[in-house]
Amino acid sequence: MAPIEAFDIDRLDPASLPGALALSAEAGWNQSADDWRVFLEQGQVFVIRDEGRIVATAAILPYGDFAWISMVLVTASHRQRGLGTLLLRHCIAELRRMGCTPYLDATPAGEQIYLPLGFQPVMSITRWQGRGAGLATPASLAELDACLVRDTIAFGARREPLLRAFLSGVPELAIRSNHGFVAARSGRLAIQIGPLGADSEADALALLRTALDRATGPVFLDVPDRWTMLSDELQSRGFTVQRGFRRMALNTSQCNGNPDQSFVLAGPEFG
């Protein structure tokens, strides 16, 4: 196998998207082909190839003065070679050039890689998995714009193209009230509920219950650990913990947006 110095970093092009999708599927992740297209259209994806085959990826999604690093993947045969760290450093350098503070949501194993690079913990998150009740009802398209306004407050940046990409797949899960909103997207394995922004945890709980009643089939949610009313509700519905994440930021412990109004996240790949 070639030494790490022999590998070049390239940009992913649309024709090579199936190779990237194969890598996330190998890892058992939830991203669909549409998710990868979001990275291509709204951010950048960097890849390393070996004999023409994509063996490692990393993506960046800029959100104004901060950005998300995600999809740091290495195929099993090429792990423990430093390819993931090589791509991560490339992403950091690119975001510094753009003037963006890098954020990411790390798995417990990944956290040990990111800490020495200067990333600091910001928030603890739990991924829950279960099934929706399947009581879907139509949603008004007028709800989509209200969701966008709320998301900007909770997340800290306007990400209209991203949410519109989510909502085009599952508009019945675009739900708003006078005190919050929730949206969702269709993943490869499950519906991912989130983001959910609200004025209070009680308001968030009401929205979450509606979303869970409307959703059909497998469901994933990423919930900050501080929101115990939400985790209690998920447990009461038979949801189980899949894994944890730690939100981290480079050289700062300041969270993006308003964490007091952010109750379910869009996912570690999107923030």
Cβ–Cβ contacts within 10 Å for residue 138, how many? 8
pLDDT tens per residue across span 125-140:
999 999 998 765 555 5
pLDDT for residue 5: 66
What tokens does 182 get?
Answer: 């929730």
pTM comes to 0.91
Where are the strands (E) in 174-265, listed by range? Answer: 175-177, 180-186, 191-198, 216-224, 240-250, 262-264
Compute how many other C-beta atoms are within 10 angstroms of the C-beta atom of residue 183.
30
Q: Is 19 a residue whose pLDDT tops 90?
A: yes
Measure the CA–CA gap between 155 and 241, rounded to whole angstroms.
Answer: 24
The CA distance from 253 to 271, in Å, is 16
Q: Which domains are assigned to the chain?
A: 4-99 (3.40.630.30), 125-264 (3.40.630.90)
Give me the pLDDT at residue 3, please.
64
Rounded mean pLDDT, 97-112 = 93
Q: What is the mean pLDDT of residues 201-210?
A: 96
| Distances from the Cα of 84 to the Cα of 71, 97, 110, 127, 175, angstroms | 10, 20, 10, 23, 37
For residue 63, give both structure tokens: 């959100």
Beta strands in 65-215 (DSSP E): 66-74, 101-106, 119-133, 175-177, 180-186, 191-198
CA proximity to 68, closest of 95, 47, 87, 34: 95
Instruction: Classify burial at 84, counting beta carbons within 10 Å of its beta carbon; exposed 0-12, middle 13-18, buried 19 or more.
Output: buried
